[in-house]
Chains A and B, each alone.
Chain A
Amino acid sequence: MYRYDQYDQAIVDARVAEFKDQVARRLRNEITEDQFKPLRLMNGLYLQLHAYMLRVAIPYGTLSGTQMRMLAHIARKYDRDYGHFTTRQNIQYNWIKLEQFADLLDDLSKVEMHAFQTSGNCIRNISSDQFAGAAADEVADPRPYAELLRQWSTLHPEFSFLPRKFKIAVIASDTDRAAIQLHDIGLQLRRNDAGELGFRVYVGGGMGRTPVIGSVVRDWIPVGQFLSYSEAILRVYNRYGRRDNIYKARIKILVNELGIEEFSRQVEAEWAELAPLGLDAPQAEYDRIIAQFAPPAFDPAAPDDLDLSDPDFAVWVSQNVHPHKAPGYAIATISLKPKRGIPGDASSAQIDAVADLATRYAHDEIRVTHSQNLVLAHVKKADLYALWQGLDAVGLATPNLDLVSDIIACPGMDYCTLANARSIPIAQKIAAKFEDLETQRDIGELKIKVSGCINGCGHHHAGHIGILGVDKKGEEAYQLLLGGSGAEDTSLAKILGPGFDENGIVVAVEKLIAFYRGARSGPDERFLDTYRRLGPAPFKDAVYAG
């Protein structure tokens, strides 16, 4: 894992000192809320329905055990004993007090963490593949490049006041576990026939009010030049992105208005100027960072077989465990979607327990996924049973990864000031209808994603079934969308028909699933595949007719 050098730490320390001073001045009433609000937002602090909400950055979703324990400590000391893991691989706390904020930032910085650039019109936390460094299908670990992007984008003076927020994701395999085509920039690391590494670059993807799938702006940029090329994209966007209308300010609108050919031409022209200036990191810096992501020393003698005689363990393994590139190892996903739980929430005791299990069984490393789950990427198969028991003891062994109860839900109107409707209770009610695990497994992979408003933090446009909270004359109402995907087969879900109330949307989802189970061509055809094969009409009939 990457460790801060003196520059990284100095930057964080200076920024923390600056913001502590701003907080102190606000508390003494020396600056107004209008003056303070943009400053606190730049430091990840929002005012939500119940209190201040803090979003802490987790670079590319990777944490050490020590960092994870600090997240638990923060939940315990400064919040109400829990945190919420988000679709951007970050964590949010819901009950933060401004008067304690300085101490909180000091605690975070002790473990090389902070909250800046988690809000505002800047380059946000870089996201990545939760299986990085462990997946058998990757060409290399994508995180050193995500780390280079993190360093390049941290307090980048030119890109601190972009037209709008900017989100970048990096992966290194053909399987997309990070929804790169739904990011402002999506980078896929590949290897060419000569064995060299380079990126395919997508630009202009996004969800929210105007969902767009990213376009390829360049099929190959050598790995040694991807920072200057990213800089060229940001420069074109910063110069021409619209600042007159917040709803048209994202890069996706610029790319749409110019067309990808013209956008690409402008980026190439900009890059031709930039590339010779020596902006790219020298090879020694690549080497330094790559070395820090060197794989742990895998035990070549680790046995590859697994005792599956405990049936509950066997189910968890078949659902939540993925193959690892090293023989004798496995990747374990910890579902944060327990029965009757809140998607993405974890108590401080659970966060601590995961940290301890990671230290004991997973080379001290934890990942956060964009589906609001956690991953231990390097677990010896021989340790899986003990790990599973440890997880079960704290209620974290739910074997439902990618099943109907593994629902993404944004905080919605239970917490969020922008919400039209609640998201979490909808997720809970749907999950409760399908509590029986055998039924869930029979239904198979089904990604339900719920957002409480058009901003789409719950990725409803990327849901096999997407649910969007809307306001209907002051009442909470829900639109139903079908056919989205945030994976390598990215597609945008489309509205099926008129919306529903809270109970109606749950019934509609039940009808959809019942129809699918009757209509699928075989047990391997996923809900999404059946939808793609048959189109919306029969699903619409199933929900609205009769």
Chain B
Amino acid sequence: MPRILTGNRLETGDVLWWTGTDWSPLIRDAVAIGDEGEALVAQLVAAERINDPALIDVTGEPGHWLPTTTRERVRASGPSVRADLARGSLSTEVI
């Protein structure tokens, strides 16, 4: 199962996904992470600019990721009860 890398930006708390070169607030921009994932997380923890970095399981394909847990789907889409605050790249419908 593909894994992608997520975390929260220290300054804002924003939920972010790793695009391979940078961070994006949209899960569709995420890249699948291979065996280098754990090392990347260790680096991020040491750098202290991204809180709670984590590798999460997803299904789908680049541009159309769907996290396997409800919790991560909620993080990706925004609160299911506030469609007006949805993040954009994943509809709250999928939660």
Measured CB to CB, the residues of A under 8 A from B are 26-27, 29, 32-33, 47, 49-52, 80, 94-99, 342, 413-415, 419, 421-422, 424-425, 428, 474-476
Contact = CB atoms under 8 A, between A and B. Distances in A.
A40 to B, nearest CB: 11
A97 B12 contact: yes
A419 B75 CA distance: 13
Contacts of A425: 80-81
A476 B70 contact: yes
Contacts of A421: 70
B10 interface: yes
Contact of A33 (B11, B48, B80, B82): B48
Contacts of A476: 70
Given A47-B52, A476-B70, A428 B11 contact: no
Contacts of A29: 48-49
Interface in B1-49: 8, 10-15, 48-49
B69 interface: yes
Interface residues of B, number: 24
A421 B80 CA distance: 12
A27 B8 contact: no
B13 A97 contact: yes
21 contacts: A26-B10, A27-B10, A32-B48, A47-B13, A49-B15, A50-B75, A51-B13, A51-B15, A52-B13, A80-B85, A94-B79, A96-B13, A97-B12, A99-B12, A413-B71, A413-B74, A414-B74, A414-B82, A419-B71, A422-B81, A474-B69
A180 B49 CA distance: 43
A77 to B, nearest CB: 15
B75 A49 contact: yes
Given A419-B71, A422-B95, 7 more contacts: A49-B71, A50-B13, A80-B85, A97-B11, A413-B71, A413-B74, A424-B79
B51 interface: yes
Interface string B72-87: 0011001111100100
A98 B15 contact: no
B90 to A, nearest CB: 13
A360 B73 CA distance: 45
B59 interface: no
A51 B87 CA distance: 12
Interface in B49-78: 49, 51-52, 68-71, 74-75, 78
A467 to B, nearest CB: 16
Given A51-B13, A97-B11, A99-B12, A414 B81 contact: yes
Nearest to B79: A414
A47 B51 contact: yes
A329 to B, nearest CB: 37
Contacts of A98: 10-13
